Amino acid sequence: MSIDSEKPWLSEYPDWLPHDVDQGRIKLLHQYLWDAADEFPERPAFTNFGKTLNYRELRDTATTFGRNLVEHGGMKPGDRLAVMLPNLLQYPIVLFGALSQGLIVVNVNPLYTARELRHQLKDSGAGAIVVLENFAHVLAEVIDDTEVSTAIVTKVGDCLPTAKAMLLNTVLKYVKKAVPPWDIDHALTFKELMTRHSDVQSEPVEIDPNDLAFLQYTGGTTGLSKGVELTHRNISANVEQAISWTSNEIRRGEEIAITALPLYHIFALTANCFFITALAGLNVLVTNPRDFKGFVKELSRWKFTYITGVNTLYAALLNTPGFKSLDFSALKISLGAGMAVTRPVAEQWKSVTGRTLIELYGLSEASPAVSANLMDLEDYNGSVGLPVASTIAVICDEQGKPLQIGQEGELCVSGPQVMRGYWKNADATREAFTENGYLRTGDWAVMDEKGFIRLLDRKKDMVIVSGFNVYPNEIEDVVSAHPGVFEVAAIGVDDEKSGERVKLFVVRNDEALSEEALIEWCKTQLTSYKRPKLVEFRDELPKSAVGKILRRALR
């Protein structure tokens, strides 16, 4: 069977859903903002800490930032700009301004250690960085080891009215002690840069859709993180795939999106920042989603229509007082990705909100969306849906050869959203693709006769017990259904007899829950070699910036 010979998922597409992306709709990424500002200049675009920028204001402010960065920061098209910001109004200003000048954006997790930041800045060759003052001390520690010549430091309140900004910045620095001392020679402030006069001409910079827009660094689960090369065309194609996939639910100029996942993460970057901007919708930026009491209070202010999150975020919301009494009457779409959505969370979400939690699948190397369930899905189905428009998915063996429907193997994909390669890493790029040019996702999966994909687990997370494959996702799904379990992670640990055995890390809802009771629970639902043999209770589990449980940290 050739990879291209069968596309069973197309028969499951509704009549209104196109099979392919309309190439005529592919855009330069900043053009989504420019078009929205032309059509809906007064429509609110982004809001945060009570301050809202409409589309005209955002475009004007982004234009000012981009021109001044070029004029006073010495940047030119193709140069890399590192952006080390949480969800603040500064983020879309910096992002769209940089992209409009042909710069390549390097998103940086603000919580990075000096070691992690040094690697990313050196590897990307970033010549400038925008950093929140709270994290400037980390940059100060490494900047001399990098090519960064321009550091732009912003405060949390820089985009807020003066009185509110002064109060917020003062509390953060002197009361909460959230701004450690820092010293960076010749650093510019964000406000200073924005008020400088620029002589840069207003004519648009010449940019090609195939030019790089992002170096989106992977989490580095197998070592040092790698820079994923994503072009304007890659991400625009994914935005257009999302627009077509949701066209029966969304309406241009009407949507209100809750953006709690960090915009520097590929999921929120595409599914919130660009997708919602393309729809001329409103992004409600949540700066600290781990403050769930404050998060629920913010949700109560909006009749939101769209929300994205990971399983742990949804689980935490469902367990936060006040969440269940919110008004969900306007909610149209709830998307879950980044980690497996578990049945208990999905079922409780549907019970509370009245909307199905739609699971999709993606990865940084695919901008990120590869597959998704249809938006009219009635109930959780345990799959990550069908390949999206213009995308081919196939299950392959270790050699990259396609397997038959129903066989387990590595999910490999092709489509216009797939990366160009890894930045300055020819060996890793070569290893990432099959001989046919399909991206190896590193995820173990199976496809049914209708084209629905069910993830089994990360290839590297799979546990081998006496020669049998055990998928942690399956174990976690069973354990999380226990009423006494709040969160769970399963890993493999060495065992003299079986090679490996399953160990659980559990955060309890019920302190009376014992190791013995949990193992007994598993005996009723898992065959013997899959059953966990060890249970360790913890107050919390290590998580990534978006709330994904980090099994590698537990290992």
Percent of residues, the chain, with pLDDT higher than 90: 85
Q: At what angle do helices 55-73 and 90-100 cross, to 10 degrees?
A: 60
- pLDDT (tens digit per residue) in 20-39: 999 999 999 999 999 999 99
Least confident of 210-214, 347-351, 417-421, 468-472: 468-472
State how far the Cα of 420 lies from the Cα of 288, in Å rounded to an integer.
33
**Residue 379, CA distances (Å) to 48, 217, 266, 392, 475 in order:** 33, 34, 26, 25, 21
- pLDDT (tens digit per residue) in 101-128: 999 999 999 988 888 899 999 999 999 9
pLDDT higher than 90, residue 460: no
State how far the Cα of 509 lies from the Cα of 487, in Å rounded to an integer.
9
pLDDT higher than 60, residue 3: no
Q: Which two tokens stand for residue 288?
A: 């600290």
| Beta strand spans in 108-251 (E) | 128-132, 150-154, 188-189, 212-217, 227-231
Phi-psi region of 476 (alpha: psi -120 to 50; beta: other; left: phi over 0): alpha
All residues at 6 or more sequence positions from 100 whose CB lies less than 8 Å from its CB, including other chains: 30, 34, 62, 63, 66, 204, 205
User: Do residues 281 and 103 lie in contact, with contact meaning Cβ atoms separated by under 8 Å?
Assistant: no
Closest alpha carbon to 114 in 136, 86, 91: 136
All residues at 6 or more sequence positions from 51 whose CB lies less than 8 Å from its CB, including other chains: 89, 159, 160, 161, 164
Q: What angle do CA 58, 261, 115 make, to 5 degrees?
A: 100
State how far the Cα of 391 lies from the Cα of 378, in Å rounded to an integer.
24
Least confident of 276-285, 365-374, 395-404: 395-404
Half-sphere exposure of 275 (CA within 13 A, CB side): 32
State how far the Cα of 151 lies from the Cα of 187, in Å rounded to an integer.
5
Closest alpha carbon to 101 in 133, 145, 71, 57: 71
Q: Which two tokens stand for residue 9?
A: 């998922």
User: Do residues 468 and 499 lie in contact, with contact meaning Cβ atoms separated by under 8 Å?
Assistant: no
State how far the Cα of 98 lies from the Cα of 96, in Å rounded to an integer.
5
Q: At what angle do helices 55-73 and 30-39 cross, to 10 degrees?
A: 140
Phi-psi region of 54 (alpha: psi -120 to 50; beta: other; left: phi over 0): beta
State how far the Cα of 439 lies from the Cα of 432, in Å rounded to an integer.
6
pLDDT higher than 60, residue 202: no
Closest alpha carbon to 245 in 335, 167, 314, 364: 335
User: Do residues 530 and 502 lie in contact, with contact meaning Cβ atoms separated by under 8 Å?
Assistant: yes
Percent helix, strand, coil in the chain, to 5, is 35, 25, 45
- pLDDT (tens digit per residue) in 134-187: 999 999 999 999 999 999 999 999 999 999 999 999 999 999 999 999 999 999
Only one residue has tokens 């659980």, namely 504
State the DSSP code for 174.
I
Q: What pLDDT band is residue 374 in, cutting at 50, 70 and 90?
A: very high
User: Do residues 74 and 127 lie in contact, with contact meaning Cβ atoms separated by under 8 Å?
Assistant: yes
User: Do residues 81 and 103 lie in contact, with contact meaning Cβ atoms separated by under 8 Å?
Assistant: yes
Least confident of 190-194, 403-407, 461-465: 461-465
Structure confidence at residue 201 (pLDDT): 60
Q: What pLDDT band is residue 2 in, cutting at 50, 70 and 90?
A: very low
Higher pLDDT, 244 or 457: 244
Q: Is 250 helix (H, G, I), strand (E, B) or coil?
A: coil
Least confident of 172-176, 339-343, 354-358, 500-504: 339-343
User: Do residues 107 and 130 lie in contact, with contact meaning Cβ atoms separated by under 8 Å?
Assistant: no
Average pLDDT over residues 189-193: 96
- pLDDT (tens digit per residue) in 270-321: 999 999 999 999 999 999 999 999 999 999 999 999 999 999 899 999 999 9
Helix (H) or strand (E) holding 175, with range, is none
pLDDT higher than 50, residue 222: no
- Report how far apart the first and last C-alpha atoms of the chain are (Å, whole number): 39
Amino acid at position 462, single letter: M
Structure confidence at residue 225 (pLDDT): 83
Structure confidence at residue 223 (pLDDT): 52
Closest alpha carbon to 44 in 300, 264, 256: 256
Preceding amide of 368 cis, omega within 30: yes
Q: Which two tokens stand for residue 372?
A: 């998704």
Q: What pLDDT band is residue 200 in, cutting at 50, 70 and 90?
A: low
Chain-wide mean pLDDT for the chain?
A: 94
pTM score, whole prediction: 0.88
Structure confidence at residue 469 (pLDDT): 75
All residues at 6 or more sequence positions from 508 whose CB lies less than 8 Å from its CB, including other chains: 484, 485, 486, 537
**Residue 487, CA distances (Å) to 146, 196, 228, 381 in order:** 40, 50, 31, 21
Structure confidence at residue 221 (pLDDT): 40
Any alpha helices (H) in 246-291, and if so which ranges? 266-268, 275-278
pLDDT higher than 60, residue 1: no
pLDDT higher than 90, residue 336: yes
Torsion sign over Cα 32, 38, 40, 45? positive
User: Do residues 338 and 267 lie in contact, with contact meaning Cβ atoms separated by under 8 Å?
Assistant: yes
